[in-house]
Amino acid sequence: RGESPKKWTMNNISVSKNTLKLMGLSYDWDREVTTCNPDYYRWTQWLFLKLYEHGLAYRKEAYVNWCPGCQTVLANEQVIGGKCWRCDSPVRKKALTQWFIKITEYAERLLKDIDKLEGWPERVKTLQRNWIGKSEGAEIDFEVEGMNLKLSVFTTRPDTLFGVTFITIAPEHPVVEKLIRGTKNEKKIREYIEQALLLTEIERTRMDREKTGIRTGRYAIHPFTGERIEIWIGDYVLVSYGTGIVMGVPAHDQRDFEFAKKHGIPIKVVIRPPDRDLNPEIMEEAYEEEGIMINSGIFSGLPSREGIKEITKYMEAKGIGRKKVTYRLRDWLVSRQRYWGAPIPMIHCERCGIVPVPYEDLPVLLPRKRKLTSHPGVNLLLHQSRSS
């Protein structure tokens, strides 16, 4: 609207404050803080520098929704049917390097300390536990046939390892590029990836949605049997969870079962229920419970729970896998491509790279006077070039 965000914000604050006063609410206005004022956000920046010193603020690449028309990042809600809400251009996923706060460092402590909370409703504690989402399992390495490349999968059920008949990689996984470059299906695969990345993570992982995927034409080698395992790319796998690669065990995972049926992937039974035999030819659903390991080489005959421990121990000794704990909790993305909000107190120097602003130079102020244009995306670029 061509108005400076500062003027707009300050105006809104004074209107709201006036309203509260008219309502007769007696706040102690001496204690009012305004988080967009430099004398406040210098401390936001001070905290950021402290976190950075302790390795708790770091940069990494993450995918954002990018509108090529507006030249700007869009929030998920601003992408409507794959298009920009403002200018209707098709939105693309773009990898940008951004700042994160490493909250995952505290996942275990956050989880443990929930038990210490007194008087909190059980429902809220459960929500919190699910948000942290701890899973214990194993990471298992698969070599890629004909390439000097290893794919590590995370699974909570290493006891089903002998039943793996395919592997699926998240479409945005960095290894995908190496795997598909120069393959026969490369163009089709790229189209699939482009489409998959337009969906939100919530859409991609909804349990009631059919899994989709595409064959890469590459094969992995099973670490125990040496069998060739098809490598797929599938939108139901998220790069941010586990290793971003999962193993497909159709006989013992319902969604893998449906996926295998649809795409003609073999089904191998490796866990026997206590009360019956399973026949992959006539199975109508996966058997996901515990049981006795079968068709599993030297591990056959072990109960699944024991099998998980034994197989993990064996892999660790051979250096082909390891015990692993993962969390659903993600690090907190704090970069914003905005020209309003506390600037991140880091200097992008051509000679020394990225260096923290010295404490005595805080606060780092927002650029004050700037020509506002009618096109919002352009303002963002102006800010980026000024702050870099």
Distance of closest approach, residue 83 Cβ to Zn ion, in angstroms: 8
Stretch that binds Zn ion, among 34-42, 77-85, 283-291, 297-305 (CB under 5 A): 77-85
Pick from 137, 175, 142: nearest CA to 156: 137
Distance of closest approach, residue 92 Cβ to Zn ion, in angstroms: 11
Q: Degrees (nearest 5) of the Cα angle 101, 107, 110?
A: 110
Pick from 67, 91, 221, 216: nearest CA to 143: 221
Residue number, 114 or 198, with CB nearest to Zn ion: 198
Residue 349 near Zn ion by CB under 5 A: yes
Residue number, 44 or 71, with CB nearest to Zn ion: 71
- Contacts of range 341-349, beta carbons closer than 8 Å, 24 or more positions apart: 341/36, 341/366, 342/35, 342/36, 342/41, 342/44, 342/45, 343/45, 343/387, 344/45, 344/48, 344/99, 345/45, 345/48, 345/49, 346/52, 346/99, 348/388
Stretch that binds Zn ion, among 33-41, 70-78, 203-211, 223-231 (CB under 5 A): 70-78
**346 class by beta-carbon count within 10 Å (0-12 exposed, 13-18 middle, 19+ buried):** buried
Residue number, 1 or 184, with CB nearest to Zn ion: 1
E-assigned strand segments in the chain: 57-67, 72-74, 79-80, 83-84, 92-101, 134-144, 150-155, 166-169, 213-221, 228-234, 245-248, 271-272, 292-293, 321-327, 332-333, 346-349, 353-356
Residue 84 near Zn ion by CB under 5 A: yes
Stretch that binds Zn ion, among 18-26, 76-84, 169-177, 254-262 (CB under 5 A): 76-84
Residue number, 74 or 180, with CB nearest to Zn ion: 74
Binding mask 87-116 for Zn ion (x = CB under 5 A): x-x---------------------------
Size of the site for Zn ion (CB under 5 A): 10
Residue 47 near Zn ion by CB under 5 A: no
Applying CB under 5 A, which of residues 31, 112, 351, 369 lies at the interface with Zn ion? Answer: 351
Residue 86 near Zn ion by CB under 5 A: yes
Applying CB under 5 A, which of residues 57, 67, 164, 247 lies at the interface with Zn ion? Answer: 67
Interacting residues toward Zn ion by CB under 5 A: 67, 69-70, 84, 86-87, 89, 349, 351-352
